[in-house]
Chains A and B, each alone.
Chain A
Amino acid sequence: MDQATLRFVIQLIIIGFTFFMLINASALLVLAERKIMGFMQQRYGPYLVGPHGLLQPLADIVKLLFKEELRPKDADKWLFTLAPIISVTAAFAAFAAVPWGAETTFFGLLDTPVKLGVADVNVAVLVVFAITSMGVYGIVLAGWSSNSKYSLLGGLRSSAQMISYELAYATALASVIMLAGSLSLREVVDAQSGYWLGFVPRWYLFLQPVGFIIYVIAGVAETNRAPFDFPEAEQELVAGYNTEYSSVRFALFPQAEYINMTTMSAVATDLYLGGWHGPLLERFGLGWVWFLIKVGLILFVYIWVRWTVPRYRYDQLMQFGWKWLFPAAVLNLIVTAALILYFNA
Chain B
Amino acid sequence: MPDTILFYLFAGIAIGASTLVIGQRNPMYSIMLLITSFGALSALYIQLDAPFVAMAQIIVYAGAIMVLFLFVVMLLNAPQEDAAVWDRTHPLRRPGLGRFGALLAGLLIVQLVWTLLRVNEASAAVGARGDVAAISSVRSVGRVLFTDYMFAFEATSILILVAMVGAVILAAREPGR
| A144-198, CB < 8 A from B | 144-145, 152, 155-156, 159-160, 162-163, 183
Residues of B within 8 A of A250 (CB): none
- Least CB separation from A79: chain B residue: B28
Q: Are B58 and A123 in contact (CB under 8 A)?
A: no
Q: Are B74 and A130 in contact (CB under 8 A)?
A: no
Q: Are B67 and A183 in contact (CB under 8 A)?
A: no
Q: Does A127 contact B (CB under 8 A)?
A: yes
- Least CB separation from A76: chain B residue: B28
Minimum Cβ distance to chain A for residue B141 (Å) = 11
Q: Does A137 contact B (CB under 8 A)?
A: yes
Docked Cα-Cα span, A130 to B70, in Å, equals 17
Residues of B within 8 A of A143 (CB): 74
Docked Cα-Cα span, A162 to B58, in Å, equals 16
Q: Are B74 and A140 in contact (CB under 8 A)?
A: yes
Q: Does B23 contact A (CB under 8 A)?
A: no
Q: Does A129 contact B (CB under 8 A)?
A: yes
Q: Does A136 contact B (CB under 8 A)?
A: yes
Docked Cα-Cα span, A131 to B42, in Å, equals 12
Q: Are A123 and B63 in contact (CB under 8 A)?
A: no
Q: Does B112 contact A (CB under 8 A)?
A: no
Say yes or no: A130-B63 contact (C-beta < 8 A), given A79-B28, A137-B35, A137-B70. Answer: yes
Residues of B within 8 A of A82 (CB): 32
Q: Are B70 and A159 in contact (CB under 8 A)?
A: yes
Docked Cα-Cα span, A136 to B56, in Å, equals 17
Q: Does B55 contact A (CB under 8 A)?
A: yes
Residues of B within 8 A of A308 (CB): none
The interface size of chain A toward B, counting residues with CB under 8 Å, comes to 29
Q: Does B151 contact A (CB under 8 A)?
A: no
Indicate with 1 or 0, residue by residue over A101-132, a CB within 8 angstroms of chain B CB atoms. Answer: 00000000000000000000111001101110
Residues of B within 8 A of A156 (CB): 71, 74-75
Q: Are A159 and B55 in contact (CB under 8 A)?
A: no
| B66-113, CB < 8 A from A | 67, 70-71, 74-75
Q: Are A133 and B59 in contact (CB under 8 A)?
A: yes
Kindly name the residue among B52, B63, B137 whose own CB sees the greatest number of chain A CB atoms within 10 A.
Answer: B63
Docked Cα-Cα span, A129 to B35, in Å, equals 16
- Least CB separation from A155: chain B residue: B74
Q: Are B51 and A121 in contact (CB under 8 A)?
A: yes
Q: Does A14 contact B (CB under 8 A)?
A: no
Q: Are A134 and B63 in contact (CB under 8 A)?
A: yes
Docked Cα-Cα span, A126 to B63, in Å, equals 12
Q: Does B64 contact A (CB under 8 A)?
A: yes
Q: Are A126 and B74 in contact (CB under 8 A)?
A: no
| B14-40, CB < 8 A from A | 28-29, 32, 35
- Least CB separation from B59: chain A residue: A130
- Least CB separation from A182: chain B residue: B138
Q: Does B43 contact A (CB under 8 A)?
A: no
Q: Are B32 and A122 in contact (CB under 8 A)?
A: no
Docked Cα-Cα span, A163 to B67, in Å, equals 9
- Residues in chain B within 8 A of chain A (CB atoms): 28-29, 32, 35, 51-52, 55-56, 58-59, 62-64, 67, 70-71, 74-75, 137-138
Q: What 7 pairs across the A-B complex have the smallest Cβ distances?
A: A126-B55, A133-B63, A130-B58, A123-B51, A130-B59, A130-B55, A144-B74
**Other contacts beyond A129-B55, A156-B74: 19, CB < 8 A:** A122-B137, A123-B55, A123-B138, A126-B51, A126-B56, A127-B55, A130-B55, A130-B63, A131-B58, A133-B64, A134-B58, A134-B62, A137-B67, A140-B67, A143-B74, A144-B28, A144-B70, A156-B71, A159-B70
Contact sample, A vs B, 9 pairs, CB 8 Å cutoff: A79-B28, A79-B29, A126-B55, A130-B55, A130-B59, A130-B62, A133-B58, A133-B63, A152-B74
